Structure 1
Amino acid sequence: MTRPTTRVLAMLELLQAGGTHTVGELARRLGVDERTVRRYVTHLTDLDIPIRSVRGRYGGYRLAPGYRMPPLMLTDDEAVAVLLGLLTSRSTTAAHAADSATAKLRRVLPQRLTARLDALMNTAEFTTDPRPAVAVETAVLLTIAEATREHRPVAIGYTDRNGQRSARTVHPYGLVAHSGRWYLTGLDSNSADLRQFRLDRITEVTILSETFAPPIEFEPTAHLLSALATAGYQHEASIRVQGTLTQVRSLLPATIATVHEISTPPDTAPWVRVLIRAEQLDWIPPVLAGLDRPFIIEHPDALTDAVRALGRRLTAAATSDPKPTVVGVGGPSRRGSEHIR
C-alpha cells in the first residue's frame, strides 16, 4: 500500500473516532500540509464516504452522523494471514498495538468469519522457536480450532512422514504453532494414545456431532515440546551433568533434551541426567561444551568419540600457529525438533 493511500485511510480512522477535526489538526496528525488534507477529503468523498465540512471558528471535517464503514472484504485466507501476524506480534514490543489492531479487525469482519477466528485466537498457542513457515490449508486450521474450542471430535485424513495414509478420529486438546509448523495434540482413536499431528499433513477434516471432556489443566505447548524431545530417533544419548534440575534445564531447550533428577550422596554436588534423541550426533558435543559444567557421557560410545574429536580440533585451533586455521566444530544442524512422527 502506497504512503498516500495509507494516510487517506489513517485520516478516515481519525474521523471515525467522532467529533469535528480541524484541517490543522489533521495535517499535524498525518504529517502533511493543509492542502494535502483537503485533497484527501476529496478522495474520500469520491468513494461515497459522507464527510461533512463544518464552517466557523471551530470548523473542520466530520463524518455524517450514523455512518459506519462497511464490512472489510477479506477472504478467509487473507483474514487468517492478518490475524496470525497479529497474534505472533503479541510476544514482541508491539503487543499493545497488535491487540488493538486485532480488536479493529474483529469489528469489521462478517460474523461468520469472526466466530471462527475467535476459535483460533482462543485455542492457538505459540512457542518462541522461529523457523520458516509450512503452509497449512486455512479451512483445516479454522475447522480444527473450532472443534478444539467446542470440545468436539474431528474425523481426519492423515499422511505420516513415511507417506502412509490413514483415517482416524481425534479428540483435539490443543493447537500449537512451533518452528513454522502447526501441531494438533489430541487423543487418537486408532492407538488410544495422546498424539501430535502436523496440520500440513491433514488432508481432510470433519467436525463430529458429539462432545468430550478434555483433561483438566492440560498444557498443549508443554506436551508438544516434551513429545518432540522424546520421539524415536536413530541415537539415544544419556549424559550426567553437574548441577540442579533448574540450572541445567535453563541451558537446554525442551525440544532437544529432557532433564531428570538423580539421587546423589548427601553433602555432595547435585547431578542430573540429560537424555537426548537425535538422528545425528555431530551437533551434541558443541552443546555439551557450551554448558560449561562437568559432564559424564553414559552412552553411546560414539558420542564420547565425537566429544574427544571436538576437543582435539579445539586444541589444534588454539596452538600458536602463525597462520590462521579455520576449524569446523560442527553445529546444531540436525536437532530432533526437525522431525515429527
Structure 2
Amino acid sequence: MPRPTGRVLTLLELLQSGGTRTVAELADRLGVEGRTVRRYVNHLIDFDVPVESVRGRYGGYRMAPGYRLPPLMFNDDEALAVLLGLITGWAAGPATAERTAGETATAKIRRVLPKHLAHRLDTLLETLAFTDESRSLDAPAPDAGLLLTLADAVRHHRPVSIRYADRHGLPSERTLHPYGIVAHAGRWYVTGQDPRIGEDRTFRLDRIADARTLPGSFEPPPDPDPAERLLTGFATADYRHEVTVRIHGTVEQIRAHLPAGVALLEEAPSPAGATPPTTECWRRVDLRVERLDWLPPVLASLDRPFAIEHPDELRDLVAAFARRLTSYAAAED
C-alpha cells in the first residue's frame, strides 16, 4: 500500500468533522499541493464516500449532509495491508509531521478492529524491525497468514517449519527458531537459528510457500537484535570474493557508501581505548562479494585514503579505473 494512505485517511477525518474545507486549507493540513488534494478526494469517491465539490469564492469540499462513515469491517488480510502500508511509510524515518499523521491513523484503525485481530496485529507489530535501508520500502506486504504465524512464533519462542525455495528455485523444508521479522531494502525477511546446524539463517518471506508452528519452544539469545543479525549475515555471506580494505575516515563517511548490509567495519582502537565513530582514523572494512567490478567506483566516491589488503585483482581493477578517469579528464572535445 502506498505511503499516501495516511493522508487519505486524514482527509476523510477532516471532511467528517463537518463544514466546507477549501483546497488551500486541506493542502496545508496534509502538507501537499492542491492537485494532490483533488487526487485524494477522487480516491474517497472511488470508495463510495460522498464528497461534494462546492463552487464559489469560499468553495472547496464537504461531506454530503447526513453521511456517517460505517464501522470499519476488515478481514485479516485487509487490516494487515492497511496497517503495514501506514507503518512502512513512517516507522524507519525521523520524527516528522507525516510520521505523526501516520501514527495517528494507525492508532485509529487499531482501535476499531475486533479484539482477536487487534491482539494478533499487536503481536506482529512488536516483532517487526526496520533497517536504515527500509525507509523506501515499496515491496508488497507478504501474505497475512504467513506474517501472523511467524510473528506468533517469534513472540512465544516457538519453532516453525517452513517450505522454502532458494535463489535457484530449489525447494526444501527447514526448521527455524525465529528471532524477528525485518524490513530491509525493499524486501521482508525472517531471521533466526537453524537448530539442525546451530547457525543463524535468514529467509526471504516472498520465497516461503508455507509456515507452520511446531510443538515445543526454544530459548532465544539474550539480545537477538534481528536487524543487526540480518545485516551481519549479508556482509558475511558466502560469495566468490573476500575483500579487505583499510579506509581512513569516520564511521559515517564510510557507512555512507558501504552500509552495514554490505560490509563489516572494524574500528581501530586508540591508545586510550575505543576510537570514537566521529574520529578520522584507519578502519578495516571486510566484504564478501560475488563481483569486484562495482567496488572501484565506490572506493573513489569515498574521497578518502584507502589501502587494499586483498585481493590483488581488486588492486588491478582500481588501477584500471583510475587510468580510465585520467584518460577521460585529458580528452579534448
Residue 306 of structure 1 corresponds to 317
Alpha-carbon separation, structure 1, partners of 2:144 and 2:307: 48
Which of the numbers 205, 221, 224 marks the counterpart of 2:227?
221
Which of the numbers 275, 279, 282 marks the counterpart of 2:290?
279
Measure how far apart 1:106 and its partner are: 0.7
Structure 2 residue matching 1:280: 3-state secondary structure: coil
Alpha-carbon separation, structure 1, partners of 2:307 and 2:168: 35
Measure how far apart 1:193 and its partner are: 1.4
Alpha-carbon separation, structure 1, partners of 2:303 and 2:10: 52
Measure how far apart 1:7 and its partner are: 6.7
Residue 138 of structure 1 corresponds to 144
Measure how far apart 1:174 and its partner are: 0.9
What residue ranges of structure 1 are gaps of 5+ in the alignment?
16-25, 50-68, 324-341
Measure how far apart 1:168 and its partner are: 2.6
Residue 116 of structure 2 corresponds to 112
- Deviations for 1:308-333, whole angstroms, at most 9, x for unmatched residues? 11111111111151x1xxxxxxxxxx
Which of the numbers 74, 99, 108 marks the counterpart of 1:95?
99
Alpha-carbon separation, structure 2, partners of 1:131 and 1:37: 32
- Deviations for 1:278-301, whole angstroms, at most 9, x for unmatched residues? 111111001111222222212222
Which of the numbers 184, 187, 209 marks the counterpart of 1:181?
187
Alpha-carbon separation, structure 2, partners of 1:245 and 1:8: 45
Contact 1:258–1:275 (Cα < 8 Å) also in 2:
yes
Alpha-carbon separation, structure 2, partners of 1:36 and 1:281: 58
- Deviations for 1:180-199, whole angstroms, at most 9, x for unmatched residues? 11111112133221211111
Alpha-carbon separation, structure 1, partners of 2:219 and 2:257: 36
Measure how far apart 1:122 and its partner are: 0.8
Measure how far apart 1:137 and its partner are: 2.0
Contact 1:152–1:212 (Cα < 8 Å) also in 2:
yes
Structure 1 residue matching 2:64: 3-state secondary structure: helix
**1:233-272 residue pairs with structure 2 within 5 A?**
233-243=239-249, 248-249=254-255, 251-261=257-267, 270-272=281-283
Residue 174 of structure 2 corresponds to 168
TM-score between both structures, scaled by the size of structure 1 = 0.72
Seen in structure 2, the aligned counterparts of structure 1 residues 302 and 203 have a Cα distance that, compared at 3 Å, is: same
Residue 288 of structure 1 corresponds to 299
Alpha-carbon separation, structure 1, partners of 2:103 and 2:137: 23
**1:54-93 residue pairs with structure 2 within 5 A?**
71-88=71-88, 89-90=90-91, 91=93, 93=96
Residue 123 of structure 1 corresponds to 127
Which of the numbers 24, 27, 36 marks the counterpart of 2:20?
27
Alpha-carbon separation, structure 2, partners of 1:131 and 1:97: 18
Seen in structure 2, the aligned counterparts of structure 1 residues 232 and 214 have a Cα distance that, compared at 3 Å, is: same
Measure how far apart 1:265 and its partner are: 10
What residue ranges of structure 2 are gaps of 5+ in the alignment?
27-53, 273-279
Aligned length: 284
Measure how far apart 1:101 and its partner are: 0.4
Structure 1 residue matching 2:65: 3-state secondary structure: helix
TM-score between both structures, scaled by the size of structure 2 = 0.74
Alpha-carbon separation, structure 1, partners of 2:320 and 2:301: 16
Contact 1:152–1:208 (Cα < 8 Å) also in 2:
yes
Contact 2:137–2:183 (Cα < 8 Å) also in 1:
no
Structure 2 residue matching 1:27: 3-state secondary structure: coil
- Deviations for 1:230-287, whole angstroms, at most 9, x for unmatched residues? 1011111121223466764565211111122458999xx9422211211111110011
Contact 2:253–2:302 (Cα < 8 Å) also in 1:
no
Alpha-carbon separation, structure 2, partners of 1:11 and 1:123: 35
Identity across the alignment (%): 48
Give the CA RMSD over aligned residues: 3.4
Contact 2:131–2:182 (Cα < 8 Å) also in 1:
yes
Contact 1:127–1:176 (Cα < 8 Å) also in 2:
yes
Alpha-carbon separation, structure 1, partners of 2:225 and 2:63: 54
The one-letter amino acid paired with 1:226 is T
